[in-house]
């Protein structure tokens, strides 16, 4: 059985399509990249590998209470968190009102008292100090349009505002795309600068996505202390945390060595 379109609309913000293949329903923004997918039999399950990789942030902050989600899409991440963390409170930012309606109508996103959705630009929300909370435990950025990562979430100003809204032990997790391009490298440089190199990268295997994790505090992103947490989260949340942990160690080994060489070589900089 092939994927077939069950909904299509065009607005000033562009094309939105919803397609279905057996029990998997997916959201598209006018191109072939899946923005969100849902298993009709398990609506809270994270179908797409990049959404599961974004949850690697829980290795370092396993009990979040206040969460800022920038980019709602079909609501996959919001549903996952509300299911597994019923006491958490999520402020979700989505610029497209039609996408919010489709998330409720086609992707089983509940009207939930712990979920507040703001239909606005994320930069404007942060600039105007809106949202229910001054500081968040997790800041999850998955803001895409038909061209890729939204330009509004790639600037120094944006990441500085995120930094200001994070608790001292908070983690920022952002989904980037086309990880080998100069544009992606520029965004990574901005993140590293804003968070003073307190970052980790997690390439999504066999995909073009790259997840970047960033922390305000120096000792938050400690892989050495997250091994047992990986085993626990894998059992409780059903995600491949042991694999994520190994991939994080491999992907960031050279980053750590590079910092050492920068420190000992007085000729650099």
Q: Report how far residue 128's alpha carbon sits from residue 131's, in angstroms, rounded to the nearest whole number.
A: 9
Q: Which of 12, 142, 151, 265 is catalytic?
A: 142
Contact 8, 19 (CB under 8 A): no
CA separation, residue 254 to residues 214, 258, 261 (Å): 17, 6, 10
List all residues 6 or more positions away from 146 whose beta carbon is below 8 Å from its beta carbon: 14, 15, 29, 30, 31
Asked about 142 being catalytic, the answer comes back as yes
Per the listing, tokens 């001292």 go with 168
What separation, in Å, do the N-terminal and C-terminal C-alpha atoms of the chain show? 57
Rg, Å, the chain Cα set:
18
Token pair in block for residue 231: 């085993």
Token pair in block for residue 82: 């509300």
Q: Report how far residue 179's alpha carbon sits from residue 181's, in angstroms, rounded to the nearest whole number.
A: 6
Q: Report how far residue 190's alpha carbon sits from residue 209's, in angstroms, rounded to the nearest whole number.
A: 18
CA separation, residue 160 to residues 8, 29, 83, 189, 222 (Å): 36, 28, 30, 13, 22
Select from 197, 13, 190 the least CA-distant residue to 102: 13
> Catalytic site residues?
142
């Amino acid at each position: 059985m092939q994927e077939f379109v069950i909904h299509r609309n065009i607005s000033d913000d562009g094309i939105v399509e919803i397609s279905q293949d057996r029990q998997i329903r997916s959201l598209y923004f006018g191109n072939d990249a899946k923005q969100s997918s849902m298993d009709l039999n398990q609506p809270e399950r994270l179908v797409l590998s990049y959404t599961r990789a974004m949850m690697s942030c829980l290795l370092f902050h396993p009990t979040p209470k206040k969460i800022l989600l920038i980019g709602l899409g079909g609501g996959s991440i919001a549903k996952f968190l509300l299911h597994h963390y019923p006491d958490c409170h999520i402020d979700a930012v989505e610029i497209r009102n039609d996408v919010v309606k489709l998330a409720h109508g086609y992707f089983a996103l509940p009207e939930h008292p712990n979920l507040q959705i703001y239909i606005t630009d994320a930069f404007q929300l942060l600039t105007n100090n809106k949202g229910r909370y001054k500081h968040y435990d997790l800041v999850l950025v998955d803001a895409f349009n038909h061209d890729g990562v939204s330009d509004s979430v790639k600037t120094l100003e944006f990441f500085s505002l995120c930094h200001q809204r994070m608790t001292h032990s908070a983690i920022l997790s952002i989904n980037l795309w086309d990880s080998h391009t100069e544009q992606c490298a520029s965004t990574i440089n901005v993140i590293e600068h804003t968070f003073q190199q307190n970052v980790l990268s997690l390439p999504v295997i066999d995909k073009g996505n790259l997840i970047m994790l960033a922390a305000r505090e120096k000792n938050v992103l400690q892989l050495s202390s997250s091994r047992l947490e990986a085993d626990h989260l894998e059992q409780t949340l059903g995600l491949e945390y042991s694999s994520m942990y190994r991939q994080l160690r491999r992907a960031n080994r050279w980053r750590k060595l590079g910092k050492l060489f920068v420190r000992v070589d007085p000729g650099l900089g």
